[in-house]
Amino acid sequence: MRKIYEKGRSNILANNAMVATSQPLSSQEAINILSIGGNAVDAAIAASAVLSVTEPGSTGIGGDCFAIVKMENKKPISVNGSGINPKNANLNYFKKNKIDSIGLLSPHSVTIPGAVDAWFEMHKKFGKLDFEQLLITAENYARNGFPVHEIEAYHWKKNEDKLKKNKITKNEFLINNKAPKSASKYRNLKLADTLNIIGRKGAKGFYEGYVAKDMVNSLNHLGGTHTEEDFYNQKTIFSDTLISKYKENFINQCPPNGPGVIVHLMMKLLEKFNWSNINYLDSRRFHIQAEVTKVCFEIKESIIGDPNFSNINFDELISENSINNMFNKISLDRAYDAKEAYVTSHPETVYLTVVDKDLNSVSFINSICHAFGSGICSENTGVLFQNRGVNFRLEEGHPNCIDSNKRPLHTIIPGLMTNKKNQTVMSYGVMGGQYQPIGQAHVLQNIFEFGMNIQESIDTQRAFALNGKLKIEKSFSKTLINELSNLGHDIQVVEDGIGGGQGIIINRKDGILIGGSDPRKDGLAIGY
């Protein structure tokens, strides 16, 4: 338990159901859906739809999502709602046109948005209420306006210049050429109309007809290769989760093209260290985390991609021999000189989780990649496009090399822990682009190694080794910084917090739901 006189939040407790999202209006909508008879899947979709309106810098219907759905007494199901690359945007196209990189604001960075199809297909498989009902509140916020919360306003302001680069985007997402301020009202009428169409027509309302045609025309006007056929061909993938044992429970992650496998590797590696005389703010803890991150990210960037184009042997990768080989690269005395790929770091994502009265649970993450995605908005629909295509490589033979209808290596990963009875123990996730695997490992260690509650585990200081730097939050002490520097780490103090996160633990013995939400975001856990 935290010391009462120190800054922080208490856990949120409830008997029946709980939701934790990165924005209060979203959390409230999830509770509303649960209260009228919806289940966890219904509530998660409705919450994500609200976030697509209220957090446009992080998510939207122009983005992707992943989820793990765990219906009580059923096995966990992975939901891959990541978008495919346009058919014509293959490596030959880039070579022919002498394009050697994919710009963050380029139409070539825009893969087909996968979120809407995933929402619709998840609802078909698991939902209870009418699909249209799940989008009503989101549509109302877009049409009538919503109060912009503090942290969202801060990030909106930081990206003013980016939003000004595209005339349509500027008109839709700025007010008198300025970002909306905290506690001001913002609306997006075109997006409201699009959400109405999707509610009435389902996924077809987005991937076919007027909306799809406008999105294609808007992208092609800027030089994109997108076709209506590309949108029609977008399909959600349902599969079993990847599972590995951690202490007495089991970690569940979505298979590639996401990097969930890296969470498994990290936890296997972290278990090999002796933590008995290391506390959660010990420099040795952050050093070990950094070294594990470097070793695992080398693997992430070298072998993971769309499994339809290249595959990995998961059992072999997490085998004792494989883990030992990785472990032997790590020194407790000196920072490892990683062969890193210098991937872009993008913190903009939303994560939410819901547990309903029947203990069905959903771990759900939605994103448009970088802040405000590609900065490209469809002319007549209010849809702001992701720029997930920047994660592709233009290297022939690389598992993540760009290709027709291929999904890029992703960053967003929902997490779920189950027990030996195949019951949900914890539904959780950490936002923050490339940070997500180590963020999840950090939270899991906080709970299961250092005995923290869910809120404490989310609150505590974070560090992230990326591109030759060890990024740390401002709350690190000078002593801790000096100790890490002496171990060979190049320290970079970040202005903002690292990532975000939410989580819900199910205490089955007492029938209590325990929730936490990250103060680095505007988020809120609510239960009843």
**Same-domain check for residues 331 and 443:** yes
Alpha-carbon dihedral sign for residues 489, 343, 306, 79: positive
Please check whether residue 341 is in contact with residue 130, taking contact to mean a CB–CB distance below 8 angstroms.
no
Q: Which residue has the tokens 């002319």?
A: 379
User: What average pLDDT does this structure show over 445-455?
Assistant: 97
* Position 56 in a domain: yes
Please check whether residue 396 is in contact with residue 333, taking contact to mean a CB–CB distance below 8 angstroms.
no
Question: What residues have CB less than 8 Å from 223, skipping those under 6 apart?
Answer: 106, 107, 108
- Per-residue pLDDT band at 311 (split at 50, 70, 90): confident
**Same-domain check for residues 162 and 97:** yes
**Same-domain check for residues 328 and 253:** yes
For 205, the token pair is: 């309302």
Report d(CA 56, CA 368) in Å as an integer: 9
- Per-residue pLDDT band at 349 (split at 50, 70, 90): confident
Domain span at 446: 242-346+415-527
* Position 442 in a domain: yes
* Position 148 in a domain: yes
**Same-domain check for residues 172 and 66:** yes
Report d(CA 140, CA 46) in Å as an integer: 12
Query: What is 351-388 written as a DSSP string?
Result: EEEEE-TT--EEEEEEE-SSTTTTS-B-TTT-PBPP-G
Report d(CA 361, CA 75) in Å as an integer: 11
Report d(CA 206, CA 198) in Å as an integer: 6
For 138, the token pair is: 């989101």
- The backbone torsions φ and ψ at residue 445, rounded to the nearest 5 degrees and listed phi first, read -60, -45
Residue 341 reports pLDDT greater than 60: no
- Using one digit for the tens of pLDDT, what is the confidence trace for 397-424? 999 999 999 999 999 999 999 999 999 9
User: What average pLDDT does this structure show over 149-155?
Assistant: 95
**Predicted pLDDT at 337:** 79
Please check whether residue 376 is in contact with residue 222, taking contact to mean a CB–CB distance below 8 angstroms.
yes
User: What average pLDDT does this structure show over 235-241?
Assistant: 98
**Same-domain check for residues 114 and 163:** yes
**Same-domain check for residues 207 and 139:** yes
**Same-domain check for residues 428 and 511:** yes
**Predicted pLDDT at 346:** 58
* Position 429 in a domain: yes
User: What average pLDDT does this structure show over 480-509?
Assistant: 95
**Same-domain check for residues 151 and 200:** yes
- Per-residue pLDDT band at 344 (split at 50, 70, 90): low
Q: Which of 155-164, 220-229, 344-353 has the lowest mean pLDDT?
A: 344-353
Q: What is the count of structural domains for the chain?
A: 2
- Per-residue pLDDT band at 495 (split at 50, 70, 90): confident
**Same-domain check for residues 372 and 491:** no
- The backbone torsions φ and ψ at residue 182, rounded to the nearest 5 degrees and listed phi first, read -60, 135
Question: What residues have CB less than 8 Å from 177, skipping those under 6 apart?
Answer: 164, 170
**Same-domain check for residues 50 and 125:** yes
User: What average pLDDT does this structure show over 259-285?
Assistant: 97
* Position 435 in a domain: yes
- Per-residue pLDDT band at 284 (split at 50, 70, 90): very high
**Same-domain check for residues 181 and 32:** yes
Q: Which of 310, 294, 203 is nearest to 255 (CA)?
A: 310
* Position 403 in a domain: no
Residue 2 reports pLDDT greater than 80: no
**Predicted pLDDT at 446:** 98
For 9, the token pair is: 């939040």
For 61, the token pair is: 């219907």
**Predicted pLDDT at 5:** 65
User: What average pLDDT does this structure show over 381-407?
Assistant: 97
Question: What residues have CB less than 8 Å from 19, skipping those under 6 apart?
Answer: 27, 30, 31, 34, 43, 47, 352, 353, 354, 355, 515, 525, 526, 527
* Position 336 in a domain: yes
**Predicted pLDDT at 121:** 98
- Per-residue pLDDT band at 338 (split at 50, 70, 90): confident
Q: What percent of the chain has pLDDT over 90?
A: 94
Q: How much is the mean pLDDT over the chain?
A: 95
**Predicted pLDDT at 262:** 97
- Per-residue pLDDT band at 153 (split at 50, 70, 90): very high
**Predicted pLDDT at 347:** 61
N- to C-terminal Cα distance for the chain? Answer: 22
The CATH number covering residue 255 comes to 3.60.20.40
**Predicted pLDDT at 40:** 98
Residue 348 reports pLDDT greater than 80: no
* Position 397 in a domain: no
Please check whether residue 59 is in contact with residue 113, taking contact to mean a CB–CB distance below 8 angstroms.
no
- Per-residue pLDDT band at 310 (split at 50, 70, 90): confident
Global confidence as pTM: 0.97
Report d(CA 10, CA 2) in Å as an integer: 8
**Same-domain check for residues 27 and 127:** yes
Alpha carbon of 129 to those of 359, 363, 482: distances in Å? 17, 19, 55
User: What average pLDDT does this structure show over 47-68?
Assistant: 98
- DSSP-based three-state secondary structure for 110: coil
Buried-exposed string 37-74: b where 16+ CB fall within 10 A, e elsewhere: ebbbbbbbbbbbbbbbbbbbbbbbbbbbbbbbbbbeee
User: What average pLDDT does this structure show over 482-508?
Assistant: 95
Query: What is 220-275 written as a DSSP string?
Result: HHTT----HHHHHT---EEEEPEEEEETTEEEEEPPTTSSHHHHHHHHHHHTTS--
Q: Are strands 249-253 and 242-246 parallel, antiparallel or unpaired?
A: antiparallel
